[in-house]
Structure 1
Amino acid sequence: MVENNLLNDLQTNWISLLVSAVIIALLIFLGKKRVSFGNRVLIAMGLGLIAGISFNKLELQFQGVSTIGSIYINLIRMIVIPLVFVLVINSIISITNLAFLRKIGVKTIAWFLGTTGVGAIIGLLVATLFNPGSGIPAETPEDFKAREVPTFFQVILDQLPSNPVADAAGGKVVPILIFALFLAIAIVKVGSKKPEAVEPVRALFASLTEVLHQVVKFVLRFTPYGVYALIAVMGAKYGWETLEPLAMLILVSYIALILHFVFVFGGLVTFVAKVNPLKFLKKAYPTIAVAFTTRSSYATLPVNLEVITKRLRVSPRIASFVAPLGASMNFNGCGGVWPAVVAVFVANVFGIELSLTQYILIVLVSVISSVGVAGVPGPASIATTVVLTAVGLPLEGIAIVAAVESIIDMGRTAVNATGTTVTSLLVANAEGEFDREAFDRDEEDQLELSPV
């Protein structure tokens, strides 16, 4: 019986698997021809979109292709918890001055919250200008069930580590991050009085950091193939037909995300960090591409760390602190732009006119909720639920946007991850931890990886 099921799976998936095998072989060939990592990822995205839409049109099965994408995601998830734990500790124990640690922590969180608030304002302005949702009937899907918003105190309790081993096994990054902070600060405290007592621990974490960087390089070699599979599955699952009824919502969301990306991130990079924005974009591209396709800030974390340190030339101790924290609580796209756009969309669908007070409340609640949902699964849905509840809009509107949320989530996550990259640069520049000469001098792709 099992053999028959396996045979049937192969028979119904063989065309999509064959096409995928040819495309993956092409990507391997391009790697051997020394086509840059970033260009191979870009090519993989394009080929994945074409293949996925073709699978959808021809009504082909694509579970095999989905498995390829899942393998890539699982490989990245495999490394996230140990990477966060080791890098946070290693970065903090290299900072012997706790006042410096507090200073960079305050600056990091301030940039996270500030850019999220600006993202909400941009989302409101663009959505108000284009009025998405006008003319769409307010019909709620029968199977819709609104997500429960955890209380403030429950969110606090959920983020505190009670059993670090169980938290690690459950993939809970925020509790592991907090546990690592406690452990690292304890090492610094003990080391200030008895340096010889913690020297073996320092050496251990320094060694583990080097080993994990090598593991990350192994995993990143699969990025073009994983990106192809993830995009192909997205195209095969939704096709063009799903997009039509909510095309305006998709358009408005991406306009707002792009404006935030260009003017907020571009402005900060240009005028605060005083870096060429086009050069920054070229160097940060791997982070953007992986975030866009994986739709996970945690999955993008290994790539982002490599980009921040190897390509942007930010010091490892700043990158190792800001990047894991950003993956947990920097939601420019999911907590800033998206809830604001959805609020205007829902108001238009249900014929509700928003007041100036409600607009202000949307921005403030977006910023607050972006902190409150840190580490909560599906932060965009929770943040949106909080915002809609705060301004008295029907939660049923979340069900209406659910059909295209996965497509918009690609852009949201890319903005989230890029915001963390930008913040790392800003904090490093302010603290003299940014090697500007190396950044300006580098022209080669620092993420060149040998093909598998």
Structure 2
Amino acid sequence: MDYLLIFFNVLILIILIGILVYMHKKHVSFSKRVFTGMGLGILLGVLIQTLYGADSDITMSTLDWYSIVGSGYVQLLMLIVVPLVMVSIIRSIINLNKTEQLGKMAAWVIGTLITTTLIAAIIGIGSALLFDLNADQITIGQEQTERGQMIEEKYNTMEQKTMPQRVLNFIPSNIFLDMTGQRPTSVIAVVIFSFLVGIATLGVRRKQPEQAELFVRMVDSIFAVVMRLVTIVLRLTPFGVLALMATMVASTSYAGILQLGKFVIASYVALGTMFIIHLVLISVFGLNPMTYLKKVFPVLGFAFTSRSSAGSIPLNVTAQREALGVDEATANMSASFGATMGQNGCAGIYPAMLAVMIAPTVGINQMSFEFIAQLALITAISSFGVAGVGGGATFAAIIVLSSMGLPVALAGVLITVEPLIDMGRTALNVNGSMLSGTVASRMLGTFKRSVFENKNAIVEQKN
């Protein structure tokens, strides 16, 4: 192995990071630095794959070093998810005048997430039918077979659980376990616990105001420290996006993309169509979709490169509060719930397209109204509890395919293009959560239009 070449590749990354640092010193906007990081990452990834190939030892070792910046940034974001969600929600509830508003807030957030997932499933079905996707058209090699076996094993471990049992998993029994993120539904469990603590504080305030005031001051102090921590971590976003994008491009199998090109195109047509529907909904609720798009771009850029809905929560919450004008409580709820349920890309479009592809292999007419209606409803309902991390789409696909009586192993046929498609799916997931927060805040009357219309109110670093 040529260690000099690896050193040279790492040096290039350091130089590009230096360019982003220079842009920061020149007060170039946060959005432009994220976009620049993404562009430089693409160029660097293409250069590495062109020179060494996607599977070479030099490429793998280089990307291992790049992961210190890319994966390290994602891990830092995951680190602050739990304290941010917990403290922010408790603080938000404490500041509410009426607890009845919580029920309305949850109804609008969850209702929007599930409704848009239903629409996304229909879009996914339509795209699969339009492009005439069929699993029989794909050559299944050893890699696809091994992936299919892994999916079947995962299915065997979860097939005994009914939908009510999966929903029951939302309720925390050990909050310290969920704070470590050990369960797929840990984020929602933390949200529920935070709601209960906030409501309990309101009760204490009525009977023991002095004790409640002491707790409120403590929460406010912790909140200030956590938000400062969020600011520090978000400063690293352009660098993280640079390294993540370089890693993705350098390791992507172009041969796999060529073989499954029709599915990749069909997937992005569906994702793009659903994204347009999101913007239409923004305009329906009286907001300028182009203004919305400009303000959420840094969040979508990170979601696209990181492929982590959960990791996007801190940036998601910050963008909703500081750029879109969504109130604090709704922003935290929509970002947290959107990372675990109602994911338009991973739990809506993807499993619906897979089901349409696989149905003909077992003699089912994928164009029948009964099949389409059943698939759309099952996809929307099954979107509860999908993990907001890499692999969540597979989890959703297993639930939908098994519920439709389709072979789950065939979900492994797309492994070679999975990362490329997952980038777009994750961006759509995160945009769906921000859409739900915006819609809920508008309907509850807590939306700050002045912030939304203020061009200077953007996701930006603070000193």
Normalising by structure 1, what TM-score?
Answer: 0.92
CA RMSD between the two structures: 2.2
Aligned-partner Cα distance in 1 for 2:426–2:397: 15
Q: Match for 2:260 among 233, 246, 259?
A: 246
Residues paired across the two proteins, number? 441
**Aligned residue in 1 for 2:322:** 310
Aligned-partner Cα distance in 1 for 2:2–2:174: 41
Q: Match for 1:331 among 343, 346, 359?
A: 343
Conservation of the 8 A alpha-carbon contact between 1:36 and 1:445:
no
Q: Match for 1:166 among 177, 191, 200?
A: 177
Match status 1:187 vs 2:201: yes
**Aligned residue in 1 for 2:292:** 280
Alignment of 1:132-171 (within 5 A): 132-133=133-134, 136-137=137-138, 139=140, 141-144=144-147, 145=149, 146=151, 147-148=154-155, 149-150=158-159, 151-152=161-162, 154-171=165-182
SS of match in other structure, 1:28? helix
Moved more, 116-125 or 28-37: 28-37
Aligned-partner Cα distance in 2 for 1:12–1:167: 43
**Aligned residue in 1 for 2:236:** 222
Aligned-residue sequence identity (percent) comes to 34
Closer, same or farther in 2 for the Cα pair 1:241/1:137, shift >3 Å? closer
Closer, same or farther in 2 for the Cα pair 1:450/1:194, shift >3 Å? closer
Conservation of the 8 A alpha-carbon contact between 2:351 and 2:400:
yes
Aligned-partner Cα distance in 1 for 2:317–2:394: 27
Closer, same or farther in 2 for the Cα pair 1:156/1:313, shift >3 Å? closer
**Aligned residue in 1 for 2:55:** none
Deviations 1:387-414 (A, max 9, x none): 2122232222211012211111111111
Amino acid corresponding to residue 193 of structure 2 in structure 1: F
Match status 1:255 vs 2:255: no
Aligned-partner Cα distance in 2 for 1:104–1:189: 20
Aligned-partner Cα distance in 2 for 1:192–1:222: 43
Aligned-partner Cα distance in 2 for 1:163–1:134: 42
Conservation of the 8 A alpha-carbon contact between 1:16 and 1:65:
no
**Aligned residue in 2 for 1:293:** 305
Amino acid corresponding to residue 179 of structure 1 in structure 2: F
Conservation of the 8 A alpha-carbon contact between 1:30 and 1:40:
yes
Aligned-partner Cα distance in 2 for 1:314–1:410: 26
Aligned-partner Cα distance in 1 for 2:387–2:244: 25
**Aligned residue in 1 for 2:356:** 344
**Aligned residue in 2 for 1:5:** none
**Aligned residue in 1 for 2:70:** 69
Moved more, 149-158 or 224-233: 149-158
Aligned-partner Cα distance in 2 for 1:135–1:397: 10
Amino acid corresponding to residue 278 of structure 2 in structure 1: F
Aligned-partner Cα distance in 2 for 1:56–1:31: 29
Deviations 1:157-194 (A, max 9, x none): 54332222222124532222222122122112222333
Alignment of 1:72-87 (within 5 A): 72-87=73-88
**Aligned residue in 1 for 2:91:** 90
Conservation of the 8 A alpha-carbon contact between 2:326 and 2:441:
yes
Conservation of the 8 A alpha-carbon contact between 2:322 and 2:451:
no
Moved more, 128-137 or 252-261: 128-137
Q: Match for 2:416 among 379, 386, 403?
A: 403
Deviation at 1:374, TM superposition (A): 5.4
**Aligned residue in 2 for 1:35:** 28
Any stretches of 5+ residues in structure 2 without a counterpart? 53-57
Match status 1:128 vs 2:140: no
Normalising by structure 2, what TM-score?
Answer: 0.90
Q: Match for 1:361 among 328, 350, 374?
A: 374
